[in-house]
Amino acid sequence: MVDALPSVVAQDADEVVRGFVPTRRFAGVSFETYVPDARYPSQLRALLRMRTFAADANAVQRRLPFFRPKTRHARAVYLDGGYGVGKTHLLAATYHALHGQRYYLSFAELAYSISRLGMDQALEAFAAARLLCIDEFELDDVAQTRMASMFLRHVFERRDTHVVTTSNTLPSDLGQGRFAAEAFQRDIGDIARAFEVVTIDDEDYRHRQWHDLAPLGSAPNRQSDGVSMAWPNLAKQLERIHPIHYAQIAVKLEALHIDRLRTIDDQAMALRLVHFVDKLYDQEVRLSLSSEVPLTELFSPTYRHGGYEKKYRRCLSRLHELLSERVVLPGGERVAGQVHVSQGVDDLRGGGQRQVGGVGGADAQDGHARALGG
Ligand SMILES: Nc1ncnc2c1ncn2[C@@H]1O[C@H](COP(=O)(O)OP(=O)(O)OP(=O)(O)O)[C@@H](O)[C@H]1O
Ligand SMILES: [Mg+2]
């Protein structure tokens, strides 16, 4: 076990853009593996909508002579919904269903690319895009709002580019609680009008509520092939690296153990951890941790209820999914790949049980081992 994060290397703009593909967790998902929950009709609607969207986009691209889309042919869809309801699954499935040049990146990566390259060069870098998949659209500040509305305006001037994005926030509510969003309604309104909103309802598919997250004990059998760091040391290393490079770290990291996690009472640090966990989640890094407090108390209550509340909750939801892939109970007992199954919801598949992608029992474990070359 090493106690330092893998190093970050400088990449040129081309390398960065070439890397905008679905993350390891979503590399193999498809419309076929999305199982709509019959209790929430919006899920089947969203699935059908995205299938049609992909078919229409492919037809436009092939310029079929008599192609007439069956539905209003929106070129931009905004998948809205709570955490863990399958938005990113559908986003990545759309990516995999489309032909031609496409890019898959998070909104944070888009914002970083634009600030690093400049607007003109960023537009140029995505000029050949038939599809842009932008995960986790959210506006943190005024500069991002301006940038996003300008970028999208230019993108939609190109007739061939389609856009799909996901968010935990309806477009009209973007930025609320984070900055004086009321003053920027023109830009936010422009963004909102550009998209057809498709809302997905469900309880968190990761099936854990805020209060159910159990306190975690220390992990006696750490991985020998990964990194193990005490929380204060990890916090210091994360502070020294721009969050945009966390993805690069996660790609290189097989397993991570975080020791002595405790309540974080610095908002900037908490947001860095949230971003880091997002990347660990995306790359299916095997995570274990020991914590001095229950996970529900990881983030200080003072900022847990403000404009970033959803971010913190989503982080706990993802942490839970990651940890249930490899849970160490307080007594030291290891529970491999806890199975999350919701029952009796599956008329569409002819009854029976539905299993959550990525956290299933033996199969998920095998798949995971394969992905890690084990
Ligand atoms: N209907 C579904 N059928 C099969 N797997 C699903 C379904 N919904 C979600 N999943 C799986 O559950 C996990 C969580 O889904 P996903 O990450 O797509 O949710 P999300 O809505 O993007 O959440 P977040 O708001 O945290 O980004 C993923 O592993 C995904 O593949
Ligand atoms: Mg998501």
CATH at 49? 3.40.50.300
Instruction: Give 23 Cα–ligand 2 centroid separation in angstroms.
Output: 11
Q: 26 lies in a domain?
A: no
Residue 17 lies inside a defined structural domain of this protein? no
CA 36–ligand 1 middle distance (angstroms):
11
Tokens at 164, concatenated: 């799909």
* CA 313 to ligand 2 centroid distance, Å: 13
Residue 194 falls inside a structural domain: yes
Q: For the chain, which ranges sit under pLDDT 50?
A: 71, 208-224, 327-374
Residue 310 lies in a domain: yes
Give the tens place of pLDDT for each residue, 67-93: 555 545 679 999 999 888 899 999 999
The residues, ordered by sequence, that sit 6+ positions from 186 with a Cβ below 8 Å of its Cβ are: none
Q: Are residues 281 and 159 in the same domain?
A: no
Q: How many CA atoms lie within 13 A of 312 on its CB side?
A: 24
What distance in angstroms lies between residue 85's CA and the mean position of ligand 1's atoms? 5
Radius of gyration, alpha carbons of the chain: 21
Q: Decide which of 199, 227, 260 is a domain's last residue.
A: 199
Do 213 and 298 lie in a common domain?
A: yes
Clarify whether residues 97 and 169 are in a common domain. Answer: yes
By percentage, how much of the chain surpasses pLDDT 90? 48
**How many beta carbons lie within 10 A of that of residue 210, not counting itself?**
13
pLDDT at 287: 92
Is 23 part of a structural domain of the chain? no
Locate the ligand 1 atom nearest the alpha carbon of residue 92 and give its number: 18
Spatial CA neighbour of 358 closest among 314, 311, 308, 323: 323
Residues 284, 28: contact at Cβ < 8 Å? no
Nearest bound ligand to the CA of residue 200:
1
**What SS3 state is found at 290?**
strand
Whose Cα sits closest to atom 8 in ligand 1? 86
The answer to whether residues 165 and 286 belong to one domain is no
Same domain, 173 and 221: no
Nearest ligand, CA 317 = 1
Averaged confidence pLDDT in the chain = 79
Token pair for 342: 């919701």
67 Cα: distance to centroid of ligand 1 (angstroms): 32
Ligand nearest to the CA of 168: 1
Task: Based on the fold, state whether residues 308 and 326 are members of the same structural domain.
Answer: yes
Same domain, 220 and 162: no
Q: Which atom of ligand 1 is nearest to the CA of 91?
A: 18
47/175 same-domain check: yes
Which of 199, 229, 250 terminates a domain? The answer is 199
Verdict on whether the full-model pTM lies above 0.85? no
| Distance separating alpha carbons of residues 332 and 327, to the nearest angstrom | 9
Q: What is the domain range of residue 144?
A: 31-199
pLDDT at 49: 97
Scanning 171-327, the segments in alpha helix (DSSP H) are 185-194, 231-240, 246-252, 267-282, 301-304, 309-324
Q: Residue of the nearest CA to atom 15 in ligand 1?
A: 86
- Is-contact 49 198, C-beta < 8 A? yes
Kindly report the protein residue whose alpha carbon is nearest to atom 31 of ligand 1.
357
Ligand 1 site-directed mutation target among 42, 80, 85, most atoms within 8 Å of CB: 85
SS3 state at 187: helix
Of 179, 199, 219, the residue at which a domain comes to its end is: 199
pLDDT of res. 285? 93
Pocket-testing residue among 356, 359, 368, ligand 1, by greatest number of atoms within 8 A of Cβ? 356
Identify the residues whose C-beta falls under 6 Å from ligand 1: 29, 33-36, 43, 81, 83-89, 166, 168, 205-206, 314, 317-318, 356-358
Q: Enumerate the H helices of the chain as residue ranges.
A: 13-18, 41-62, 87-97, 107-117, 119-125, 142-157, 185-194, 231-240, 246-252, 267-282, 301-304, 309-324, 362-371
How many domains does the chain divide into? 2
If asked whether residues 148 and 233 sit together in one domain, one would say no
